[in-house]
Amino acid sequence: MPELPEVETTVRGLRKKVLKRTFVDVWTDFSKMIKKPKSFNLFKKEIKGRKIEKVWRRGKNILFDISGDKTLLIHQKLSGHLLFGKWKKQNNNWQAPPGSLSNRVNSFIHLLFVFKKGQMLALSDLRKFAKVELWNSAQFLKSEQFKKLGPEPLKKDFTFKKFKQVLQNRKGRVKSVLMNQEVIVGIGNLYSDEILFYSKVHPLKRTSELKEAELKKIYLGIKKILTKAIKFQGDSFSDYRKVTGEKGGFHERVKVYRKTGQKCSRCNTAIQRIKVGGRSAHYCPKCQKL
């Protein structure tokens, strides 16, 4: 699933492509991904003619503030990614021009917004788990799903003191707690592995057992790893691609994620994989002792 660096990279790419553009049409072959309103016809009617005024991110949600005080929310979920370009319909399939957009991973088009002059914003989603909602902006900001999200880890007000506060009443394994979007937003399976490797903390360690020095190291790891991943425009181990259809570059720089059996870059011990709360965790048993 795209995590904070991938979503942030997408948002930055979209700002360059879709700001001030007006929706003239929308198409889907899988209306179930439209969660609000329930009717695709109503969704289409509501969005046509509206202009994109702002593109921003909250956690893993991509948000478009559009004219008429509406907010379009797209959560890419497991395999979704947004692409900008032009497609043509051929034999009931959308065909991209030659280049990165035509790569197979970008070919699972299930939602497509059309702008003036034929430019398009497409959602490619192999597994079709993505979620799309159209809200009244004021209602969205007051909604439970928005208010329950944890702090943004790269904001200046996310201090070490605040980090300790959000962990204070959270019990459980540190990897699972870091991935809880009500504790801190944007961190998932990949970046929790990388942050804990940087911090030399075992993923099964309980948050209540973390020492001050370990907490500080995890906090610094969050800031450093997420910032670096944004610099390299996200991780493309799986389906994620930039809005241009190209891969991000962070997958070439991971230390432990999906490296089971390979040598640790610090001590040459073989990386191991275990389950934590039903999710995979990759770690070095020598550097990250329990």
Long-range contacts of 286-290 (CB under 8 A, 24+ apart): 287/197, 287/200, 288/196, 288/197, 288/200, 288/201, 288/202, 288/203, 289/202, 290/202, 290/204, 290/205
- At CA 190, angle to CA 186 and CA 196, rounded to 5? 90
Q: Is 21 tagged catalytic? A: no
155 annotated active-site: no
Q: Choosing from 17, 60, 175, 241, which is the catalytic residue? A: 60
Would residue 60 show up in a list of annotated catalytic residues for this protein? yes
Catalytic residue among 86, 279, 285, 286: 279
Options 3, 6, 46, 194, the catalytic residue:
3
Q: Point out the catalytic residue in the list 2, 5, 151, 203.
A: 2
Specify whether 3 is catalytic: yes
Instruction: Determine the Cα–Cα distance for residues 222 and 290; give it in Å rounded to an integer.
Output: 20
State which amino acid sits at residue 239: D
Encode 211-251 in three state secondary structure: CHHHHHHHHHHHHHHHHHHHHCCCCCCCCCCCCCCCCCCHH
Q: Would you please indicate which residues are annotated as catalytic (active-site) residues?
A: 2-3, 60, 279
